[in-house]
Structure 1
Amino acid sequence: MLKRAILIVQNHLKTLGILVLNPDGIAGSATHEAVIKALNARQNELSAGALNFSQERRITILLQLIAKDKNIDVAPIDGYWGPVTQNAYESLVHLIDQGSLPPNWRDDEPSDANPHVWPRDRGSQQEMRDFYGQPGKPPIKHVTCPWTLRLAWDTNVRVSRIGCHAKVADSLENILQRIHAHYGEAELKRLRLDLFGGCFNPRKKRGGSTWSAHAWAVALDWDPTHNQLNWGRDRASLDAASYDFWWHTWEAEGWVSLGRSRNYDWMHVQAARL
């Protein structure tokens, strides 16, 4: 069982005055005895025989009850760690760490706006070639970023301008100006939006056989360490309410977040439709 889940249960037991030991994330005999006492007090909410379940399942039941008390959907209270319990656990962690439940991300669907009529990046990528030219040889135009950037792989290096495809330069400049006006320098740094992972890179897609949008200089990466390629919204830092304005600003100009659209590669935003 996850150590953090055990800590949540132990802290709850300590709040109830049932557990005397300091929470350590290790489910020893004292923790199991305290769990039984806590469940005994709530037998009317348990299924028959729940107190005779395995120790791990009893801990899971108590975690489910804690979630229920916080109005987090976790039914049924059965001690099984399935997708519903996993989501409830993640919601509890968010509540403990952030002071609020996570936003309903499915209620905030990515925008379909495409005011610049960016091409689709599909199949043979012919639309990309027709619109942007050949990959690896884009006409580069430099856009000044209104806040100080640091290279994500060498934070001692400062970046003041971003080299991008000439066709997306005006759009990118507008986006950066709006974002800077909203957040300000200090907040952008706190959110790690000053960690720049690059734009132009003449390469194929990682894990794919077609050209990356980076090969046309129409994609940018942000804070790659905390938003890695295979991470979903359960781990990527850019999936948080603090970044809502960030994503809405990109999407208003037709840029696409792979994270918000496909739930992987949250670092990546591109001027190309999927």
Structure 2
Amino acid sequence: MENRHLQMLLASCGFYQGGIDGVLGPITQAAIRAVEAKHKDAYTFDPTTTFEKRRETAAVQACLNELGFDAGDVDGWHGVNTEEALNAYLFKQINGHEETIDRTPLPSPAGGGTIPKQNTVGTVYGTPGPAIEAQLVRLEFPFDFRIDWNLRQKTNKIRVHKDCAPQLEKALTEIRNHYGEARWRGLGLDRYAGAYNHRKMRGSNNWSMHAYGCAIDFFAAPNGLRTRCPGALFCGAEYKDFLDIMEANEWLPAIRLWGKDAMHFQRARL
């Protein structure tokens, strides 16, 4: 994130009238404090007790959310949700319309059997919102994942839909046992980038599979939304077993569904 992007967002939300010069002087700082005051209930931390860069990131998140570009929690950590929300905002600023993300299915996409189709998940899992939230369960693993956007933070809990939980628990346990702790961590397979999230699909008005609790992301930066093989890290030979195990347990890799977004796995076929 560039400083001028922060200023652009502050201006778009009506907090900043200065130049878009990338200099975070007193006017920009005052605008950040104004965001904190307006959106204090949305902040998941006390911005007065942390370092300035985190406060800047949180102000970006709060402004993106206010403008309708879902950046997720206002936590001050620049993860994949913040990055993609910022990309969407900048695309619209430059082009005058929202970006359309191509998700054309591959000729023979992964999936089948008992896995529900993406266009019918609402009848299987429920309607995004309270109906889905009532069916979420929290898996608890005997090992930790690193939080992809803040590697100093760890968790052993992942929240997904109850009808997807047994398959995911089995898959992730098999993956860690298959690779062993050192290799699993060395390959970044422990870098958890998010699961349940009540938001729309990037570049679409349809609900994301994350909003149904049937999607999960890992190691976002080198496995981006628009990155195809061989550019995506997970296209490498050392990750084939990872993808195979996820798919065998009914969690389908997006890279095998529409050929991009390798970070993403879902219990829904096309």
* TM-score, normalised by the number of residues in structure 1: 0.56
Change (3 A) 1:146 1:136: same
Q: Identify the residue that residue 156 of structure 1 maps to in structure 2.
A: 152
Taking only the aligned residue pairs, the percentage that are identical comes to 32
Larger RCO (CA within 8 A; separation ≥ 6) = 2
Shift of 1:208: 1.2
One-letter amino acid of the counterpart of residue 140, structure 1: L
One-letter amino acid of the counterpart of residue 132, structure 1: Y
1:132 aligns with 2:132: no
- In 2, Cα distance between the equivalents of 1:164 and 1:190? 25
* RMSD of aligned alpha carbons: 1.5
Deviations along 1:41-79, one digit per CA (max 9) or x if unpaired, are: xxxxxxxxxxxxxxxxxxxxxxxxxxxxxxxxxxxxxxx
Contact 1:165/1:218 (<8 A) preserved: yes
Aligned counterpart for 2:253 among listed residues 249, 257, 264:
257
SS at match of 2:224: coil
- In 2, Cα distance between the equivalents of 1:243 and 1:146? 22
Shift of 1:113: 4.5
Alignment of 1:32-71 (within 5 A): none
Aligned counterpart for 2:195 among listed residues 193, 199, 202:
199
- In 2, Cα distance between the equivalents of 1:249 and 1:234? 20
Aligned counterpart for 1:235 among listed residues 223, 231, 243:
231
Shift of 1:227: 0.6
Pick the structure with greater CA Rg.
Answer: 1
Contact 2:230/2:236 (<8 A) preserved: no
- In 2, Cα distance between the equivalents of 1:113 and 1:273? 7
1:247 aligns with 2:236: no
- In 2, Cα distance between the equivalents of 1:110 and 1:189? 29
Aligned counterpart for 2:175 among listed residues 173, 179, 182:
179
Q: Identify the residue that residue 212 of structure 2 maps to in structure 1.
A: 216
- In 1, Cα distance between the equivalents of 2:206 and 2:245? 28
Deviations along 1:148-178, one digit per CA (max 9) or x if unpaired, are: 2111111111011101111111111111111
Deviations along 1:85-128, one digit per CA (max 9) or x if unpaired, are: xxxxxxxxxxxxxxxxxxxxxxxx765453xx121113xxxx21
Number of equivalenced pairs: 160
One-letter amino acid of the counterpart of residue 257, structure 1: P
SS at match of 1:230: coil
Shift of 1:141: 0.8
1:120 aligns with 2:101: no
- In 1, Cα distance between the equivalents of 2:252 and 2:188? 20
Alignment of 1:73-84 (within 5 A): none
Where structure 1 has 5 or more consecutive residues not aligned to the other structure, the ranges are 1-108
- In 2, Cα distance between the equivalents of 1:111 and 1:121? 12
